[in-house]
């Protein structure tokens, strides 16, 4: 499982760099042909990891429910985020993965509600959830790279 956390943290480092590379205006911009912006994609991966790992394990998530409702699958950027919103999302990029790693090492994840994703991947435990999460984050990193070229 250490490899899955290593991959996740490397991806989060790449995502975190967009906070340095993009202005607030750029984070919020939705280029023509896209449904969402950079900040939505970053927040979406934070939310999805929490849903896949904690919620599906029957455990409380490490994020506010309002973030889940705003950035879960099926949502879209419906208004610009503020710098305070950006700062909150930025603070969660690493803290959620570090806490997940800590909880995993301490045996917190005992149960899992099996789930089939929209890509028809079957997830039966937290190890599979983290593996799928890395795949999912890679997809959204690709979207962000495409968005960034148009900003």
Give the pair of three-digit tokens for residue 148. 């960034």
CA 137 to chain centre: 6
Side-chain-side CA neighbours of 142 within 13 Å: the count stands at 6
pLDDT value of position 1: 77
- Per-residue model confidence (pLDDT) at position 36: 96
Q: What single-letter DSSP state applies at residue 57? A: G
- State pTM to two decimals: 0.96
Domain boundaries, the chain: 2-26+35-150
Whole-number pLDDT of residue 14: 97
Q: Measured in Å, how far apart are the chain's first and last C-alpha atoms? A: 36
Q: What is the pLDDT along the chain (151 residues), one digit of tens a residue?
A: 789 999 999 999 999 999 999 999 999 999 998 999 999 999 999 999 999 999 999 999 999 999 999 999 999 999 999 999 999 999 999 999 999 999 999 999 999 999 999 999 999 999 999 999 999 999 999 999 999 999 8
The CATH fold of domain 2-26+35-150: 1.20.120
Q: What is the pLDDT of residue 66?
A: 97
- pLDDT number for residue 151: 87
């Amino acid at each position: 499982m250490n490899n899955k956390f290593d991959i996740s943290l490397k991806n989060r480092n790449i995502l975190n760099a967009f906070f340095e590379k993009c202005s607030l205006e750029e984070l919020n911009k939705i280029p023509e042909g896209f449904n969402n912006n950079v900040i939505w994609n970053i927040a979406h991966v934070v939310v999805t990891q929490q849903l896949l790992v904690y919620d599906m394990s029957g455990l409380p998530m490490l994020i506010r429910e309002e973030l889940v409702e705003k950035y879960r699958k099926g949502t879209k950027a419906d208004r610009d985020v503020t710098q305070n919103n950006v700062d909150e999302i930025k603070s969660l990029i690493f803290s959620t993965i570090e806490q997940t790693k800590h909880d995993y090492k301490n045996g917190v994840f005992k149960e899992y509600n099996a789930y089939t994703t929209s890509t028809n991947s079957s997830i039966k435990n937290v190890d599979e959830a983290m593996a799928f999460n890395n795949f999912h984050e890679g997809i959204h990193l690709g979207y962000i790279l495409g968005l960034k070229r148009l900003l």
